[in-house]
Structure 1
Amino acid sequence: MLRGLEIRDMLIIDRLSLAFQPGLNVLTGETGAGKSILLDSLGFVLGWRGRAELVRQGAEQGEVVAAFDLPPGHAARDVLAEAGIAAEDELILRRINHADGRKTAWVNDRRVSGEVLRALSDTLVELHGQHDDRGLLNPRGHRQMLDAFAGVDVAGVRAAWTRLATARKALTEAEAALAAMQAEEDYLRHAVKELDKLDPQPGEEAVLDARRRAMQGAERIRADIVNAHGALSEQGAEGLIGNALRWLEGVADRAEGRLEAPIAALGRVLVELNEAQAGVESCLAALDFNPLELEALEERLFAIRALARKHGVLADDLGGFAEGLRARLAALDGGARVMTGLTRAKAEAEADFLRESVQLTGARKAAALALDAAMAAELAPLKMERAQFSTQISPGDPGPEGSDAVAFTVATNPGAPAGPLNRIASGGELSRFLLALKVCLTGDTPGLTLIFDEIDRGVGGATADAVGRRLKSLATGAQVLVVTHSPQVAALGAHHWRVEKAVRDEMTTSTVTPLDDAARVEEIGRMLAGGSVSDAARAAARALLAG
């Protein structure tokens, strides 16, 4: 329940403090007195989007504070918990509008965003007027309203729709991928065959290149090494030194020991010479290769490099590239099987969605009958017992909330064609239809403050009295605030405030005054007379107040 509202420096309001009560609260005043400013200010502190400039001229900032009673179990407590704010029995909303357009807000002295305020407002206040801002006149929102009235759970349909959307997407993507692979089937098969035939291995290019360079280098140095080997052999140095050693050994015993040292040295030379020959022979063996092997090696190396250039990859990546092509080819070969599975999954998802949608449609049709009956019961006390309200359910585009299109239609007289609510009903009729619809859709929502902004516009006399009595009945278990120009409605209020506008020191300000019994007689007399209040108007006002 909205317990208090404080407004400072907002539009033409200087300072204003209001204490609201349970039951039916009415606000009256002449046109332009500032009643709409009260609602704009309340909407501002609740985070609603409204006027861009609300700060009173000359002020640095405007401020609105709203206090609500928050009983245990109130839906606002869940919003507070999600925002990390401790819930108390009193909820204080405070919001400041700076002159430069900046806005700051607090909930129980905790800084919050406008989104948190709007989430709280959905649980605290319902604002409704003839120009409904909650979408009662917009068919796009009728399905959601019917679901809320029925209390249906659309989670099953949403889950089925998600599964169906996923299955459709998977099938569409698979079809596109298969079509793309089919378009390059010849390329895939040729490329895989070519790669399989060559079978390049990681690191093979480097090995082949090194071997090729070694063979090419061997051709250039082998002739010199062969010549050196010949020079060291028996036909070369080895033979000459061997001959020299034999000759010296043959005469050593006659040289009185003078040849012992040379003979020993030549022996050592022969040992070293043998080691040199062994090293040269080993080198020649390593350099020995078949020219055909070099030719085969170069052919493979060039083939690997050509294939890498062809496919735009590194030579060492050809193996991985081939695996990718094989996988695509396998997917192509198994495409029919995959498509069959995805098609089956899509069909199953469609069947699940259809089943859930049919169940939801049944629940909506039952709720539509209940809503139509509830509307008939509400319209009778509002002097519209001959009018007909009908909730039309027709096939719509499938989506996460089912396959139904819902529209509220009315016929104001028997035999008259039914049509959309905002096209068939006149101003006064529309007010009563919306009041009845609001009552039915709101139901027994606990802790909700209902605000009706000139819902009685366009009606008078007995009809206005009927509207007032329905509002009074609605306020029995709730708090209802009504901005009205109807004396019949005002007379039925449990609490009455008058909104007035005055000019002081060339400054226009708006004030709100709570009325006692005598002041109510004067105000309702003014509403009846339209000018100066006569004794007859006062008498009529007393009669209205007496009921």
Structure 2
Amino acid sequence: MLQTLSIRDFVIVDALNIEFSTGFTVLTGETGAGKSILIDALSLAMGARGEGGITRAGCEKAEISASFYIAKLEGLKAWMQENEIPNDDDQLLCRRVIYADGRSRAFINGQPATIQQLKDAGEFLVDIYSQNAHHSLLKLSTQREIFDDYCGLSSLAAQTSSAFKQWQTLYQRRMEMEQNASKYADELAELRDKVRELVQLAFAVDEWENLQQEHSRLSHGASLLAGCEQCRELLSEGEISALRQLSTAQTKLQALRDYDANLDEALGSLDSAMIQLDETDRFLNRYLQRAELDPERLAEIELRIQTIHAASRKYRVRPEELSELLLQWQARMAELESVQADGELARQEAAAKLAYDALAEKLSEGRHQKAPELSHKITGEMQRLSLAGGRFDVALSPQTPASTGLEQVEFLVAGHVGVEARPLNKVASGGELSRVSLAIRVVTAQQGSVPTMIFDEVDVGIGGGVAEVVGQLLNQLGAGRQVLVITHLPQVASQGAQHLNVKKIQRDNVTLSAIEPLDESARVEEIARMLGGVEITETTRQHAREMLASE
């Protein structure tokens, strides 16, 4: 559940720290006070795309942090582990910093994160329903997703879509291969010649590196021998060699050491230097004993290098890329050979279709089992929302096999008795659409696993007794999860277990948005304000008290 939301320098908010409770919370305030700013801020913390002008005027950046308690969200914990995000005592902190120039940074539990990771985490945490949610319900894709989610078929639907794409990919490949059979036969013949040549070359990257090193050594053999001999002359063989000079210095220091023990350090360093020089001299001696000029081996290596260079020039790649090129050609050749094999691609396509058919039929079976149940439940809620005699149907119309399955999912609604159920996008009044939308959301949300639901003025177009029922439905929904509702309706606001009030304040001639939790007396005043009237009278206050007492 959402525990706290902290906002700094965002639009007209300078600093807000809001604590949220479980159950049903309402947010109210006059138009323009900044209620929707809270939703916008939370959306940004959940990875929504930021637009220009959201940083408060004169500020360098806006900061938004949302903390959640995630003890029961095993799916989210698994996702965090997969993404190497620490789980600090079942707490998740999503933080977004948005700069005035449009740049932004994201963090999860203090660790830098991508915007996509914020979005992914948000999928486990919060569902936000805005006024626009009514309109998104008019899309068949949204209706299908809501229905499949209610049925617990979202994963199967995704598998079905993936299987369909695999089947169609193989189908397109087969058609392409059949149409270009001659062209691919020529390509295969050419590939066989190229692969044969590179296989015979027997080239490996590590061989190329060794050839380069050996060629460098053999081609500079005379210089290496002469140079090492000169080094030995300087170290040990010459009359004034380094080892002889150091030996003389060692003898002198040993004699002086008898007079001053402080020379021990210098004597020790000199001993170490002599040991290292002696080891170097021995190494050079062994090297010279093994080293020899080998013109035949040098000629052999140069021929091998020329052969490799010729192949790389022929195929226009660097020598070290020849091995990778061979692998690419072999893979393409295997692909063409499998296609050329008698009916192999057709068999793969048929197998892919069978896999799709099995998934699609299972999906279809699940949909047909659940459609009557969802239709019945939403029809029941419609009666409570003053759509007496109204009916809701989940229509499953057969369609040509597609990524979405074997049927088209569409929501049909009849507003009252005697009216034929029509597609949801044909519902005439906005009030009816709002009520049907709420009925759909309330019923389907009970099946969902997201712990926090936010409704942003989804009760627009609703009033009177219907508004009271909407409040009851939202309160009922809040019994099982955290529900936050931004509303202008006193009938809804009076039923909240927690009531937050958003208002504008003036500070240093600057308009800011502030928020505060309301106690019992303050709730009476706010509900009375929402009930209307230029002047709040005692009668209005008494009405507000009665509304609050009845809940």
Equivalence for 2:60: 60
SS of the residue corresponding to residue 516 of structure 2 reads: strand
SS of the residue corresponding to residue 15 of structure 1 reads: strand
> Do residues 458 (structure 1) and 461 (structure 2) align?
yes
Equivalence for 1:247: none
Q: Is the Cα–Cα contact under 8 Å of residues 381 and 470 in structure 1 kept in the other structure?
A: no
In structure 2, which of residues 447, 472, 475 is the aligned counterpart of residue 472 of structure 1? Answer: 475
- What is the CA-CA distance between 1:355 and the residue it aligns to? 4.3
SS of the residue corresponding to residue 489 of structure 1 reads: helix
SS of the residue corresponding to residue 21 of structure 1 reads: coil
Q: Is the Cα–Cα contact under 8 Å of residues 451 and 482 in structure 2 kept in the other structure?
A: yes
TM value normalised by structure 1: 0.68
SS of the residue corresponding to residue 522 of structure 2 reads: helix
One-letter amino acid of the structure 1 residue matched with residue 128 of structure 2: L
Equivalence for 2:137: 136
Q: Deviations over 1:473-517 (max 9, x none)?
A: 100111110000000000001111111113333311111111100
Equivalence for 2:513: 510
Equivalence for 1:403: 406
Q: Is the Cα–Cα contact under 8 Å of residues 6 and 66 in structure 1 kept in the other structure?
A: yes
Equivalence for 2:117: 116
- What is the CA-CA distance between 1:457 and the residue it aligns to? 1.1
Deviates more, 1:428-437 or 1:399-408: 399-408
Q: Deviations over 1:1-36 (max 9, x none)?
A: 111111111111111111110111001111111111
Q: Is the Cα–Cα contact under 8 Å of residues 382 and 470 in structure 1 kept in the other structure?
A: no
Q: Deviations over 1:284-342 (max 9, x none)?
A: xxxxxxxxxxxxxxxxxxxxxxxxxxxxx9xxxxxxxxxxxxxx9xx99x99x956554
Q: Is the Cα–Cα contact under 8 Å of residues 95 and 106 in structure 1 kept in the other structure?
A: yes
> Do residues 151 (structure 1) and 152 (structure 2) align?
yes
Equivalence for 1:40: 40
Deviates more, 1:396-405 or 1:88-97: 396-405
1:167-316 correspondence runs (5 A)? 167-178=170-181, 180=183
Equivalences, count: 404
> Do residues 9 (structure 1) and 12 (structure 2) align?
no
One-letter amino acid of the structure 2 residue matched with residue 354 of structure 1: D
List alignment gaps of at least 5 residues for structure 2: 190-199, 201-314, 316-332
Closer/same/farther in 2, CA of residues 51 and 396 from structure 1, 3 Å limit: farther
- What is the CA-CA distance between 1:459 and the residue it aligns to? 1.1
Distance 2:184 2:501 in 1: 78
1:311-350 correspondence runs (5 A)? 340=343, 342-343=345-346, 346-347=349-350, 349-350=352-353
The structure with the largest alpha-carbon Rg is: 1
- What is the CA-CA distance between 1:113 and the residue it aligns to? 1.1
> Do residues 537 (structure 1) and 540 (structure 2) align?
yes
Q: How large is the Cα RMSD of the aligned pairs?
A: 3.0
Distance 1:53 1:64 in 2: 15
In structure 1, which of residues 443, 447, 461 is the aligned counterpart of residue 446 of structure 2? Answer: 443
SS of the residue corresponding to residue 84 of structure 2 reads: coil
Closer/same/farther in 2, CA of residues 534 and 51 from structure 1, 3 Å limit: farther
Equivalence for 2:215: none
- What is the CA-CA distance between 1:391 and the residue it aligns to? 1.4
Equivalence for 2:501: 498
One-letter amino acid of the structure 2 residue matched with residue 376 of structure 1: T
Distance 1:519 1:481 in 2: 19
Distance 2:178 2:352 in 1: 18
One-letter amino acid of the structure 2 residue matched with residue 8 of structure 1: R
Q: Deviations over 1:405-441 (max 9, x none)?
A: 2122212122324333243052222222222211222
Closer/same/farther in 2, CA of residues 483 and 13 from structure 1, 3 Å limit: same
- What is the CA-CA distance between 1:545 and the residue it aligns to? 0.4
> Do residues 28 (structure 1) and 32 (structure 2) align?
no
In structure 2, which of residues 355, 376, 383 is the aligned counterpart of residue 380 of structure 1? Answer: 383
Identity, % of aligned positions: 37
> Do residues 434 (structure 1) and 437 (structure 2) align?
yes
Q: Is the Cα–Cα contact under 8 Å of residues 71 and 447 in structure 1 kept in the other structure?
A: no
Distance 1:540 1:340 in 2: 80
